[in-house]
């Protein structure tokens, strides 16, 4: 077994290597003895974390060992895995050696012994039921006597001898196959189906082995132990694992894939990579800017349950000229980057969006790529569904990183089939992704990398290599991406054209004086009397506006546009209003008389109080809006006669103050260096095997309280929980509430008050309290 004696026999170098492979066992508080380390090595959460890092052939060997009961002889394992081929046999030995070096397997009396949690990591290893010994443990002596008689084995009087005799027959594969051939045809069909699928058989008829008479096809198998009750009073019957293996046939071998799946690749020219990355990155920045600009003018409506619905995604996609999946992608990275927020009024840009617009293109794209790199889901994996920010914790970040690294393993080449690349990554670490469809998620991650320029033409780009190196040089790698256009081509048909992405200043100027029509590879605006009037309402004048347009234009301002601006300027403010309820004044008495006589304006209740003054019964803002709708160009005034400057409406909200998890008060690095691991190994070997730890800080009673009241925890678990209380950091607890419901929680910022633990719960995203007596298990860190 994995105990202090086994660890001491490893020696300093091998022990340090074990600590390197099992980092979850030395998460603070560090173990203080080999006995404590042995306990941590076999904790269920620790074992599962280790299994998640293993490759497919090693996991397949582990499952085969578990299917054989967890302690098989090597010959039985070789038979099950079909290791007649020397190469296949060598691969099995490599996998066994990997399990030994991870502290998951040891040998005793010529048997391969898997640690207990690994034996139960599969509900039904290889689709098999429990071993016969487990199913027969509580069988009565009278029932065993019937089984020995029907199996034709030596009769015995002691229950232990009868049990041993029955087990010997059930483990004899040739004998079981002969016995099954003698079964009635219907029973044979049931036995072969259950052996193949491992399913439970329903039969709720009462049947007693010593006194009952067979009345169904299942009873024949039950009388011989080929099917056994799942429980004493259960109506479900299971086939023992040994029987199922025997009935699968003499040539049956368990799945074993010692070689990684092949990945076909094709060479890609460096120029093609750079060209594709630049185009993709520029397009994504355009999509994000276009969506947020529109949301800034009119908030994007949200579903009642939150998020943006499919209909709205399709509308945005039609407006941008791209699939809805890319709209989801743009929303996801914008939200993660802190540029888009969700409020009661809809999806609206945050104040940080304006700062993002002023940044250089490379920095803007780098911010989006960093946000995508940490995104906990794959937006393109559900391209036709509503979008909603999610924090699923299903391993997409790890899968995304491994996929990009696998592409980068052969620079200048791209996988021909993305699914092949995903298959290879999942062969190296099958449990890397914990969602429903890893192939679909991996393919989506590769497509997203292409949309952001992390991959170009399927090959890794400089931006992708910068990400894999830690992301420090990401902005530099994107320095030449998507240069911004500071000039506009003004055309005689009163349109403006920007070939590319305009700078924030140019876009603001054109949005002020014209109406945006398209945004994409080229951005266009159209000038009109209403849009020009909007600029004057915002405080502009004709000369200043023409000067700004002339400075930004390629060439000069076209004559029709200049005429339009000056004509609107001439009429703008000819009528001025101030609030009485309101008052209109005009130097041109004839114009004012025309307004007063206009039947469209009768609801305003305008009356002449002087040749140049009208009063109205409606508020100033409503009156001015009605005049503009009727074709006039009034200008609102302050009470002192100064014009009211009307800014173009832009919606912005401040970034929400999120209730965040408490920052862990860590005093040690998450990962120890090789020198530190060597020193820790020496310290553990120098200590007695069963050192008892005291509280970490002098005079603290935390550990004593936890030991007293957390009665379900062993000493090492008490230490881990006490350390989390005194030093911060995450800890995983298995908890049973007052209703008896079990749950696994990752908690942080824990404090202890009496016998109650107060902590931030990641599951509930809020502070929660936990009774020490209801905590069933504890493991260090956030268990995977």
How far apart are alpha carbons 165 and 73 in whole angstroms? 20
- Contact criterion met (CB below 8 Å) for 247 and 260: no
pTM of the model: 0.76
| 141 to 157, 159, 162, 222: CA distances (angstroms) | 9, 6, 8, 15
| 375 to 267, 331, 372, 439: CA distances (angstroms) | 30, 12, 5, 18
pLDDT of residue 325: 92
- Contact criterion met (CB below 8 Å) for 92 and 256: yes
Q: How far apart are the first and last CA of the chain?
A: 25
Helix, strand, coil distribution of the chain in percent, nearest 5: 45, 15, 40
Is 684 inside a domain boundary? no
pLDDT of residue 115: 94
| 184 to 190, 193, 197, 595, 685: CA distances (angstroms) | 10, 14, 20, 103, 62
H helix or E strand, kind and range, residue 47: helix 44-52
Residue 228 shares a structural domain with residue 154: yes
Which residues, 6 or more positions from 309, have their beta carbon under 8 angstroms from its beta carbon?
301, 302, 303, 386
Is 106 inside a domain boundary? no
What 3-state class would DSSP assign to 182? coil
| 29 to 40, 539, 668, 723, 724: CA distances (angstroms) | 11, 65, 9, 6, 8
Residue 447 shares a structural domain with residue 388: yes
Among residues 608, 644, 640, the alpha carbon closest in space to that of 624 is found at: 644
Residue 235 shares a structural domain with residue 295: no
Matching residue, tokens 């989506």: 444
Written as six digits, the tokens of 85 are 């081929």
Residue 269 shares a structural domain with residue 315: yes
Residue 715 shares a structural domain with residue 605: no
Residue 305 shares a structural domain with residue 406: yes
Matching residue, tokens 């046939």: 249
Written as six digits, the tokens of 19 are 């600590």
Is 78 inside a domain boundary? no
**pLDDT < 70 positions in the chain:** 155, 480-483, 519-521, 578-579, 647-671, 691-700, 783-784
How far apart are alpha carbons 425 and 421 in whole angstroms? 6
Number of domains in the chain: 5
SS (H, E, C) 357-406: HHCCHHHHHHHHHHHHHCCCCCHHHHCCCCECCCCCCCCHHHHHHHHHHH
Residue 341 shares a structural domain with residue 449: yes
Matching residue, tokens 């794959």: 378
Residue 337 shares a structural domain with residue 442: yes
- Contact criterion met (CB below 8 Å) for 756 and 772: yes
Task: From 495, 528, 556, give the residue that closes a domain.
Answer: 556
Domain containing 500: what range? 484-556
pLDDT of residue 654: 62
How far apart are alpha carbons 214 and 626 in whole angstroms? 93
H helix or E strand, kind and range, residue 267: strand 265-267
Written as six digits, the tokens of 47 are 């074992």
How far apart are alpha carbons 291 and 643 in whole angstroms? 33
pLDDT of residue 693: 55
pLDDT of residue 665: 39
pLDDT of residue 517: 81
Is 537 inside a domain boundary? yes
Task: From 412, 447, 476, give the residue that closes a domain.
Answer: 476
Residue 225 shares a structural domain with residue 154: yes
Q: What is the pLDDT of residues 561-617, one digit of tens each?
A: 999 999 998 888 888 776 678 899 998 888 999 999 999 999 998 988 888 999 998
pLDDT of residue 698: 41
Is 402 inside a domain boundary? yes
pLDDT of residue 729: 80
Residue 290 shares a structural domain with residue 233: no
The enclosing domain of 750 has a CATH number of 2.30.30
pLDDT of residue 483: 65
Is 676 inside a domain boundary? no
Is 253 inside a domain boundary? no
Residue 368 shares a structural domain with residue 411: yes
Dmax (CA) for the chain in angstroms is 127
Is 326 inside a domain boundary? yes
Residue 356 shares a structural domain with residue 286: yes
Task: From 603, 636, 669, give the residue that closes a domain.
Answer: 636
How far apart are alpha carbons 425 and 750 in whole angstroms? 37
pLDDT of residue 720: 87
**Quick one: how many helices (H) and strands (E) in the chain?**
34, 27
């Amino acid at each position: 077994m994995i105990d202090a004696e086994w660890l001491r026999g490893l020696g300093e170098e091998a022990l340090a290597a074990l600590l390197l492979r099992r980092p979850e066992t030395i998460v603070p508080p560090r173990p203080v003895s080999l006995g404590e380390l042995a306990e941590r090595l076999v904790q269920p959460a620790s074992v599962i974390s280790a299994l998640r890092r293993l490759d497919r052939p090693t996991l397949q060997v582990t499952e085969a060992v578990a299917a054989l009961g967890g302690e098989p002889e090597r010959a039985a394992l070789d038979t099950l895995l079909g290791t007649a081929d020397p190469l296949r046999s060598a691969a099995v030995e490599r996998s066994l050696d990997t399990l030994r070096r991870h502290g998951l397997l040891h040998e005793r009396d010529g048997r391969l012994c898997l640690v207990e949690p690994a034996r139960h990591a599969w509900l039904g290893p290889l689709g098999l039921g429990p071993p016969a010994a487990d199913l027969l443990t509580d069988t009565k002596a009278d029932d065993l006597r019937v089984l020995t008689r029907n199996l034709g084995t030596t009769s015995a009087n002691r229950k232990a001898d009868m049990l041993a005799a029955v087990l010997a027959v059930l483990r004899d594969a040739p004998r079981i196959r002969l016995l099954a051939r003698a079964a009635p045809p219907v029973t044979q069909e049931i036995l072969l189906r259950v052996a193949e699928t491992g399913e439970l058989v329903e039969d709720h008829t009462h049947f007693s082995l010593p006194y009952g008479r067979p009345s169904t096809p299942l009873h024949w198998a039950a009388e011989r132990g080929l099917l056994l009750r799942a429980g004493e009073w259960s109506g479900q019957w299971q086939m023992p694992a040994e029987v199922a293996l025997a009935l699968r046939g003499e040539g049956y071998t368990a799945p074993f894939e010692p070689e990684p799946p092949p990945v076909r690749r094709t060479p890609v020219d460096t120029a093609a990579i750079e060209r594709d990355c630049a185009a993709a990155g520029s397009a994504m920045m355009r999509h994000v800017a276009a969506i947020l600009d529109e949301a800034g003018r009119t908030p994007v409506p949200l579903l009642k349950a939150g998020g943006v619905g499919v209909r709205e995604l399709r509308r945005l996609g039609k407006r941008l000229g791209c699939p809805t999946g890319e709209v989801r992608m743009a929303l996801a990275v914008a939200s993660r980057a802190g540029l888009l927020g969700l409020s009661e009024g809809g999806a609206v840009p945050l104040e940080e969006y304006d700062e993002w617009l002023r940044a250089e293109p490379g920095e803007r794209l780098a911010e989006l790529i960093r946000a995508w790199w940490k995104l906990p889901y794959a937006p393109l994996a559900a391209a036709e569904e509503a979008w909603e920010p999610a924090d699923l914790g299903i391993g997409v970040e790890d899968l995304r990183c491994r996929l990009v690294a696998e592409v980068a393993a052969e620079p200048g080449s791209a996988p021909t089939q993305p699914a092949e690349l995903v298959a290879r990554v999942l062969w190296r670490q099958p449990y890397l992704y914990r969602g429903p469809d890893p192939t679909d998620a991996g393919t989506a991650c590769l497509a997203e990398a292409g949309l952001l320029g992390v991959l170009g033409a399927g090959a890794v780009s400089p931006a992708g290599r910068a990400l894999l190196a830690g992301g420090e040089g990401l902005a530099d790698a994107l320095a030449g991406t998507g240069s911004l256009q500071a000039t506009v081509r003004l055309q005689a048909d009163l349109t403006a054209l920007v070939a590319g992405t305009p700078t924030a200043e140019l876009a603001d100027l054109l949005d002020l004086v014209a109406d945006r029509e398209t945004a994409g590879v080229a951005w266009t605006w159209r000038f009109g009397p209403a849009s020009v009037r909007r600029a004057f309402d915002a405080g502009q004048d004709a000369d200043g506006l023409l000067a700004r347009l002339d400075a930004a234009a390629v060439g000069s301002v076209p004559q029709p546009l200049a005429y339009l601006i000056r004509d609107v300027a001439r009429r703008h403010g000819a009528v001025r209003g101030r609030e009485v309820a309101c008052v209109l004044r005009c130097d041109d008495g004839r114009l004012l008389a025309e307004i007063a006589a206009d039947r469209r304006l009768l609801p305003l209740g305008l009356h002449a109080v002087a040749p140049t003054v009208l009063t109205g019964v409606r508020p100033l803002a409503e009156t001015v809006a009605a005049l503009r709708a009727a074709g006039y160009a009034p200008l609102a005034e302050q009470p002192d006669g100064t014009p009211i400057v009307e800014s173009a409406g832009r919606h912005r909200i401040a970034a929400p103050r999120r209730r965040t998890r408490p920052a862990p008060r860590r005093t040690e690095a998450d990962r120890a260096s090789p020198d530190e691991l060597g020193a820790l190994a020496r310290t553990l070997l120098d200590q007695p095997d069963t050192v008892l730890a005291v509280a970490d800080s002098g005079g603290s009673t935390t550990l004593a309280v936890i030991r007293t009241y957390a009665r379900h925890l062993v000493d090492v678990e008490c230490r881990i929980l006490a350390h989390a209380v005194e030093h911060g950091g995450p800890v995983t607890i298995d908890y049973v509430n007052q209703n008896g419901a079990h749950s696994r929680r990752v908690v942080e910022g824990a404090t202890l008050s009496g016998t109650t633990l107060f902590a931030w719960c990641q599951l509930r995203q809020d502070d929660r309290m936990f009774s020490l007596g209801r905590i069933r298990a504890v493991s260090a860190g956030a268990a995977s």
